[in-house]
Amino acid sequence: MKYLLLFFFLLPIVVTTLGQSEKTNEEIVLTNKRGKTTVISNENGELLVNVSPKNVRKLKAEGVVRYSYFGAKGDGKADDIDAIAATHAFANRHGLLVKADEEATYYIGGKDRTAVIQTDTDFGNAEFIIDDTDVENRNSFVFLVNSGLQSFKPEGITRLKRNQKKLDITLPGACLVTVVNSGIKRYIRFGPNQNNGYSQTDIFIVDKKGNVDMDAPIIWDFDQITKIAALPIDEKKLTISGGRFTTIANRAESKYTYYNRGFGIKRSNVILDGLEHRITGEGDNGAPYGGFLNISECAYVTVQNTILTGHKTYKTIGSAGVAVPMGTYDISVNRALNVSFINCSQTNDINDNLYWGILGSNYSKNLLYDQCVFSRFDAHMGVANATIRNSTLGHQGINAIGSGTFIVENSTIRGRNLINLRSDYGSTWQGEFIIRDCVFVPLNGKQTTASLIGGSNSGQHDFGYTCYMPERITIENLNIDDSNHPEDYPGPAIFDDFNSKMTTDAYVQKFPYVVTKEVVLNKVSTSSGKTLRISENAYMFRNVEVTTE
């Protein structure tokens, strides 16, 4: 009898038809009740998924496969990762929906095995226990959502200009284009986690005629391009729904050895709906996490109706030789465009500083929070355009650098500042802020002197780019709850003292910091009854035009 023998590697998948299965060194055979379907792990750790032609026909006719069909126990004890990976490999080959078994609890141990998702998946009410206490590869995603389309190098592009509208190329369809100039370093970080910067990088969408999507424009000039890649954008949406996931946290040494044991999403046009993620087993030490949801190199991703969890903060010694808290995330967004979080929240208190802020992002454009209750929004190495609306942000508030338009509306912010411009990257925003219909509760109501826009820049460090404050800031209908304030409180300030040494024209900036030109205020109220003032450093902001409407 002939069988369809599917060889499953981490990547790629190759399907052939053989007369019989190959002999294996380690035979982990998982046979379902239907018979003639086996999953075998060979001596190289590769999965051999053996399905009879009769069963192939049955499963294709049903249009759906379940993990139990490929031997998953779902008892919360036996390691089901091989069966889960095999199920998705089979589904990917035949374009079938994957469904978890009702009421199942799948245990996933530390084996270096990734389940690749390329078809719609319904986790339903199933539970997944991901045990990170002993893993073979901390960088191995448990699930990888990726495209069956292959990236390629477009020819003939040697230079690019900021805000360029068209490329002189023809593409097979809309593509996500990533370009690098290794000859220029940007984001040269300052402070305890200082570094030498990263190669200039940009990512944008180009249609088949070469037109650049100007909602996510090119943000750098490229006098040379040392690397370029185009990844076709999947036109069909892929939907992943349900699932209750629990991570048993790692207990590794507290240093920058990030764990990526969750979902890697590297496909465009994905909807993640109704997922829940919790964490247990966090002790006195542990390595940080790079994101249970790690969204990268893709566009048009929506995470909705989802519950996540902030990770406990651990400290280590940073690159400057001093102790630093390590960033650790349940969400990471890197080199991704048009990523939305809608009606999402977290299980732990958004104002508990024992837990790190839930999101970190780099090189991304058009990020959205809508109806979210999270501890933080953050953009490290730049975001182009961001919107926060109908949301509540906790103790780490809004932290960002970047460009374009940042909109905050109908939201409550409980951080130190309404918006903090990250000082380790130069407190730069080349564009404008629009803030309307918001409530600002400085330090979640703890005693403090309030200021709306936070950050600092001495003008003495080269960040790899000119640093700007927002050219224009519009604030409409803002209530500042500054009722808990010091006795000598002078009232809230628009700006922090960004450079306490810059008090006269005698101060020389090696790398001049471009200050805001205009602030427009309309209906700004304070609980203290104090008037909003410009800054403690009146000299630095002496040329800012403040207009009250």
My answer on whether 127 and 157 are in the same domain is no
Q: Both 226 and 86 in a single domain?
A: no
- On whether both 41 and 105 belong to a single domain, the answer is yes
The range of the structural domain enclosing residue 88 comes to 3-131
- Give me the mean pLDDT over the 177-188 stretch: 98
What percentage of the chain carries pLDDT values higher than 90?
88
Q: Residue 476 contacts by C-beta under 8 Å, 6 or more apart in sequence?
A: 435, 436, 437, 522, 523
Last residue of a domain, one of 208, 233, 258: 233
Counting the structural domains of the chain, the total is: 3
- Taking residues 194-198, report their average pLDDT: 96
- Decide which of 173, 203, 233 is a domain's last residue: 233
Of 233, 268, 291, the domain-final residue: 233
Q: Is residue 269 part of a domain?
A: no
Q: Is residue 445 part of a domain?
A: yes
Residue 1 scores a pLDDT above 50 = no
Residues 340 and 415 in one domain: yes
pTM for the complete prediction?
0.93
Residues 498 and 453 in one domain: yes
Question: What is the band of 45 on the pLDDT scale with cuts at 50, 70, 90?
Answer: confident
Residue 315 lies in a domain: no
- Going from the C-alpha of 273 to that of each of 64, 121, 131, 403, the distances in angstroms are 19, 10, 23, 30
Both 85 and 175 in a single domain? no
pLDDT-derived band at 403 (thresholds 50, 70, 90) equals very high
pLDDT at 13: 30
For residue 12, pLDDT over 50 is answered with: no
Q: Are residues 184 and 50 in the same domain?
A: no
For 482-523, how does the pLDDT look when each residue is reduced to its tens digit (9 = 90+)? 999 999 999 999 999 999 999 999 999 999 999 999 999 999
Residue 209, φ and ψ in degrees, nearest 5: -95, 0
Identify whether residues 118 and 172 lie together within a single domain: no
Question: Is there a single domain that holds both residue 100 and residue 155?
Answer: no
Residue 141 lies in a domain: no
Q: Mean pLDDT check: name the lowest of 42-46, 172-176, 319-323.
A: 42-46
Alpha-carbon distances of 288 from 136, 177, 261, 331, 472, rounded to whole Å: 16, 30, 11, 12, 37
Confirm whether 207 is domain-assigned. yes
DSSP percent split of the chain into helix, strand, coil, nearest 5: 5, 45, 45
Say if 281 falls within a structural domain: no
Residues 109 and 161 in one domain: no
Residue 209 covered by a domain: yes
Say if residues 287 and 259 touch (Cβ distance below 8 Å). yes
Q: Are 142 and 262 in contact (CB under 8 A)?
A: yes
pLDDT at 50: 83
Same structural domain, 418 and 518: yes
Q: List, for residues 49-89, the tens digit of each pLDDT value.
A: 888 888 888 999 999 999 999 999 999 999 999 999 999 99
Average pLDDT over every residue of 114-143? 97
Q: Note the pLDDT tens digit of each residue in 254-311.
A: 999 999 999 999 999 999 999 999 999 999 999 999 999 999 999 999 999 999 999 9
Residues 426 and 515 occupy one common structural domain = yes
